[in-house]
Structure 1
Amino acid sequence: MAFPLEHHDIRTNGVTLHVAQCGPANGPLVVLLHGFPEFWYSWRHQIMELAAAGYRVWVPDQRGYNRSEKPAGISAYQLKQLGADVLGLLDAAGVAQAAVVGHDWGGIVAWWLAVWHPERISRAAILNVPHPAVLGQAARKVPRQLLKSWYVFFFQLPWLPEWLFRRRQFRFGRGVLRGTSRAGTFSSEDLVRYVAAWNQPGALTSMINWYRAGLCQPSRTGRVSIPLLLLWGKQDAFLEPRLAAFSLQQCAQGQLVYFEQATHWLHQEEPAAVNRHLLDFLRLGLPVSFPI
């Protein structure tokens, strides 16, 4: 059965978030959390598949992105606030628990929720981002990671990152997406949508403020007790694959699946395989491993 894609504005944790929704109203809730520099549309290959399987899917533009509210100041983007936004969405949906799936910065929010609010998160699936404690130790554990993380330090500068990202019709942002993904992953139509999201008033500074706030926060967090699935594209231009294995050590009920040929954008490059893993995980618990 095909379900319509709905768009709602939902008040949570003092901000209003735009949330794309799909699936049966009484289905188990799954929240999909995008990363940088994306928005709800990055989950376009997963939304309908999960809805068709009987899940109610909520996909927010996280605070600072696209059509969601963009509070001023770096402190508004601390991880505790980002996690509280998601908990507020669960309250708005009227559910005690939900599954969460996160990619990139959305994955960091999912890690935080899994550690600090296991009573609200039934299970978590995370794509291409390590446990925050591992991320904080990355330079020591995997020295090559320091070179890959250059942009994190660049984003700490005032105004210059925004200027570079915006100049020449967002050529830098478009180039990052296409230059770090497999050919054909982002179509011209996709990039038009991304540029429109980046061009929302205040969006660029708010998006980059996630990095500015993140570098000022302690990286130590606890172990994950709930079931967790970690999916990782090995050709990631930003994060070393070994960080995934270190992250698995932080999980009591975790499983890691590597995608040998996928990049950081694996859910858009290999949606059929990613969807299969997600559905197996959501339906049956931890999936058995099978070749990609």
Structure 2
Amino acid sequence: MDFEHVTFDLPHGTFHALQGGDPTGQPTIFLHGFPDHPPTAKAFLAELGRQGRYVLAPWLRGYAPSPTAGPFDFASLTSDVIALIEQWSPQRQVDLIGHDWGAFITYDTTVTAPERIKRAVTLAIPHPLTFIGRPRPAQLRRSWYMAFFQLPGSGMIARARDFALIDRLWRQWSPSLTLDPALHAELHEHLGASFPAPLKYYRAMTRLGMLKAARRLSHPITVPLLHIHGADDDCILPPNVDDRRRYAAPHVRAVVPDLGHFLHIEAPEAIAERIATWVASGSLDPRGETNPTAVQNPKG
């Protein structure tokens, strides 16, 4: 499936995106994470398009060719997405799918502008208050890079030797994934034009904007939401607590075996199919049974 490169003039500047699929289908926006950008997800986006969706995948603030200037607090990042939704799909609610930082933004968008979201899917990141509420020692060890990125000079180290540290994170977080060489080279090119802006997401975590976001996220999510997590994710551990109080709408959680942090790149067809099953039945159970608070681990 072919995707066209499109631009949107938003309040923060000109944002770039990939667009494809059926223009009459369900509008669906995919938000990438760190250290990533839309082209690595083309196979996944194509699967969404084959489901009959109309798909848009923007480069987020901080990622060239979209604006690389801050600020990078949650409210600012979410405002970009809401402005994009209003311009791209003014008449119809969108399905919002987010991975990693895109998932954080997805959670925030569901509580900031729920009237614009029909359904939400988050990949690899549990609810932010679940994530920070009870940090496990194993998670703290995996989150070393968040503290490292606070240090002066960390951006220079991260891009040294052709982004050797970034490549290490990819290998660690998704042990079974080998990125296509052409996609790998394109990613390095875009990161080179973006750095150190992507690191500033992490630096903004320690500032007042994070506290304000936590207050917003303390309100239950009123949008139906599916969370999918790779069992082999070595970046963010799958949630092990019952977080149903975070949701006032149907919520399904799925932990998928043999996949890591970049699960939508590792298994684009399988992840797209799980989303389609949830949309059709309200659950991931092949019998169509709805169990909105269960952790489901379907084989596929």
TM-score (norm 2): 0.87
Q: Structure 1 residues 156 and 271 mapped into 2: Cα distance closer, same or farther (>3 Å)?
A: same
SS of match in other structure, 2:14:
strand
Partner of 2:247 in structure 1? Answer: 251
Match of 2:79 in 1: 84
Which of 97, 103, 120 pairs up with 1:101? Answer: 97
Instruction: Indicate whether 1:145 and 2:139 are aligned.
Output: yes
Q: Cα distance 1:249–1:269, how it changes in 2: closer, same or farther (>3 A)?
A: farther
User: Percent identity over the alignment?
Assistant: 27
Q: 1:155 to 1:95 in 2, by over 3 A?
A: farther
Q: Would you say the 8 A contact 2:30–2:96 is kept in 1?
A: yes
Asked if 2 retains the 8 angstrom alpha-carbon contact of 1:42 and 1:268, the reply is yes
1:46-74 superposed Cα distances (whole Å, 9 cap, x missing partner)? 211211222110000001113111114xx
CA positional deviation for 1:165: 1.2
Instruction: Give 3-state SS (helix, strand or coil) of 2:259's partner.
Output: coil
Is contact 1:32–1:43 with CA below 8 Å preserved after alignment?
A: no
User: Deviations 1:197-243 (Å, cap 9, x if unpaired)?
Assistant: 1111xx11210111111232113412112110010012111222235
Give the superposition deviation at 1:150. Answer: 1.4
Q: Structure 1 counterpart of 2:142, which letter?
A: K
Instruction: State the partner residue of 2:264.
Output: 267
- Which of 157, 169, 178 is residue 162 of structure 2 equivalent to? 169
1:76-225 matched pairs, under 5 angstroms:
76-93=71-88, 94-139=90-135, 142-158=136-152, 160-200=153-193, 203-216=194-207, 217-218=210-211, 219-220=214-215, 221=217, 222-225=219-222
Q: Aligned partners of 2:147 and 2:24: how far apart in 1?
A: 44
- The question of whether the paired residues in 1 share the 8 Å contact of 2:27 and 2:92 is answered with no
Confirm or deny: 8 A CA contact 1:227 1:286 kept in the other structure: no
CA contact (8 A) 2:126 2:238 kept: no
**Structure 2 unpaired stretches of 5+:** 286-295
Rounded Cα–Cα distance in structure 1 between residues aligned with 2:31 and 2:164: 25
CA distance in 2, matches of 1:130, 1:61: 22
Please state how far the C-alpha of 1:256 moved relative to its aligned partner.
0.7
1:96 shift after superposition: 4.1
Q: After superposing the two structures, state which structure 1 stretch, 56-65 or 270-279, moved more.
A: 270-279
- Total equivalences in the alignment: 281
Q: Deviations over 1:143-195 (max 9, x none)?
A: 3322221111111112x221111111111112221233234431322211111
User: 1: CA distance between counterparts of 2:279 and 2:29?
Assistant: 12
Deviation at 1:248, TM superposition (A): 4.7
1-side partners of 2:155 and 2:120: how far apart?
32
The TM-score normalised by the length of structure 1 is 0.90
Contact 1:7–1:21, Cα closer than 8 Å, also in 2:
yes
2:230 aligned residue: 233
Deviation at 1:283, TM superposition (A): 4.2
Distance 2:102 2:128 in 1: 12
- SS of aligned partner of 1:125: strand
Give the distance between the partners of 2:228 and 2:170, measured in 1 at CA.
19
User: Within 2, Cα distance between the matches of 1:92 and 1:69?
Assistant: 17
Measured on the aligned residues, the alpha-carbon RMSD in Å equals 1.8
